[in-house]
Amino acid sequence: MNELKNDRFLRALSRQSVDRTPIWMMRQAGRYLPEYRATRKQAGSFLDLCMNAELACEVTLQPLRRYPMDAAILFSDILTVPDALGLGLYFEEGEGPRFRKTVRSEADLAGLNSFTADDDLDYVMRAVSTIRSELNGSVPLIGFSGSPWTLATYMVEGGSSKDFARVKSMAYDKPALMHDLLSLLADAVADYLAAQVRAGAQALQIFDTWGGSLSASAYREFSLAYMRRILERLPAEAEGRPVPVIVFTKGGGQWLESIADCGAHAVGIDWTTDIGLARKRIGDKVALQGNMDPSMLFASPERIRAEVAEILATFGHGSGHVFNLGHGITPGVNPDHVTAFVEAVQELSPPYHAS
């Protein structure tokens, strides 16, 4: 593999010194970019785009051509694992992801396919290796997966949900069945992420998108425990470098100390958590990633710059901060506003890293 020319992102995750705060965006390859929309149309569907290594590579690289991001993230979807388990993923316009089958009983669980990431999600591994080759050492490549709890919400509900009634009912009324499902998913995700590292991923993120829907005790039991199980099984290093892992629980600000103890190198925070307070609570243990409200990108470039300045000042001096949004970028954002966002981080952050 090629030598890494820009390791600012990896250094920040290890809380090593950097010249400025690194930046990337969740969903940075996405519908806000006209070139992405054109490539998706060329692919025929979102799933076809995910399954085509060359086109997945193309959309991964598109934001890097516009913006000097400090990391690329694999273009894929968190629901590839449940799809490989045999649930039949499809997308309905305006309704998001759906599954043809659900897991709501012991029989449903027993009927899932066996899973080996290298075989069952080989198209993802081809995409990882293709992207890594095309990056040519310019920036690191992030691999990712959904958390077991988040994947379970879709598998039990059959798609997106507003109240998570079915999956919470299973957790509270049939906890043994839920733990069996989460155990299966934790093992599958650990296999999946390790395979991405073998294919070339240099950092990993676990998206616990729906962990924040749980109560405090349920979060520890049904979400955090299984992410910890995954982290224990991941490779500590590859190609002579550590492979840092970011855990991002949307709505998880009240559990920062517990998340920081799970074994991850960094904790992603959403926009509802004050990054300065988060640093005081856990910043001596892990790096922090975040956390501008994605909707701020609808504001004027001047307002975006002011918000970036405030977040940088609130975090304060020193390393251990990866600038990001507090969730994925909103599809309707003007790409020029992203330019203002990235430039503000680049221009305003160096003084916070001066010795």
Q: How far apart, in whole angstroms, are the C-alpha atoms of residue 266 and residue 221?
A: 21
Instruction: Write out the two tokens for 283.
Output: 């910043």
pTM summary value = 0.97
**Under a CB-based contact definition with an 8 Å cutoff, are residues 234 and 245 in contact?**
yes
Quickly list DSSP for 86-111.
Answer: II-EEEETTTEEEESS---SHHHHHT
Indicate if 154 belongs to the active site.
yes
Question: Does residue 145 belong to any structural domain of this protein?
Answer: yes
pLDDT average per 10 residues of sequence, the chain (355 residues):
89 97 97 97 94 98 98 97 97 84 98 97 98 98 98 96 95 98 98 98 98 97 98 96 97 98 98 98 96 98 98 97 98 98 98 92
β-pairing, 96-99 vs 89-92, is antiparallel
Catalytic residue among 66, 77, 98, 303: 77
Are 320 and 283 in contact by the 8 Å Cβ rule? The answer is yes
Q: Measured between alpha carbons, how far is 344 from 326 in angstroms, rounded to an integer?
A: 17
To 5 degrees, how large is the angle CA 327–CA 16–CA 1?
Answer: 80
Torsion on CA atoms 331, 333, 339, 340, rounded to nearest 10: -140
- What is the CATH number for 337? 3.20.20.210
- Pick out the residues of the known binding site: 27-31, 77, 154, 209, 327
CA 104 to chain centre: 27
Per annotation, catalytic residue among 154, 192, 219, 226:
154
Residue 325 domain-assigned (yes or no): yes
Annotated binding site for substrate: 27-31, 77, 154, 209, 327
Alpha carbons 295 and 324: distance in angstroms, whole number: 13
d(CA 137, CA 109): 42
CA 41 to CA 46: how far, in whole Å?
A: 9
Catalytic residue among 27, 98, 166, 198: 27
Residue 10: CB partners within 8 Å, gap ≥ 6?
A: 4, 140, 202, 203, 241, 242, 244
Query: Residue 292: enclosing H or E segment and its boundaries?
Result: strand 287-292
Coil, helix or strand for 267? strand
In a domain, 347, yes or no: yes
- The reply to whether 25 falls in a domain is yes
Q: What residues make up the domain containing 228? A: 8-353
281 is catalytic: no
Q: In the chain, what is the straight-line distance between the N-terminal and C-terminal CA atoms, in Å?
A: 33
3 within a domain of the structure (yes/no) = no
Give the H or E element holding residue 81: helix 80-82
Instruction: Report the number of distinct structural domains present in the chain.
Output: 1
Q: Is 77 an annotated catalytic residue? A: yes
The reported pLDDT for the residue numbered 2 is 66
DSSP string, 121-180: THHHHHHHHHHHHHHTTSS-EEEEEE-HHHHHHHHHHSB--SS-HHHHHHHHH-HHHHHH
Q: Which of 243, 162, 233, 242 is nearest to 192 (CA)?
A: 233
Q: Give per-residue pLDDT as tens, 117-173.
A: 999 999 999 999 999 999 999 999 999 999 999 999 999 999 988 899 999 999 999
Catalytic residue among 8, 11, 15, 40: 40
Q: pLDDT tens-digit profile of 178-201?
A: 999 999 999 999 999 999 999 999
Half-sphere exposure at residue 100, Cβ-oriented, CA atoms within 13 angstroms: 9
- The CA distance from 234 to 232, in Å, is 6
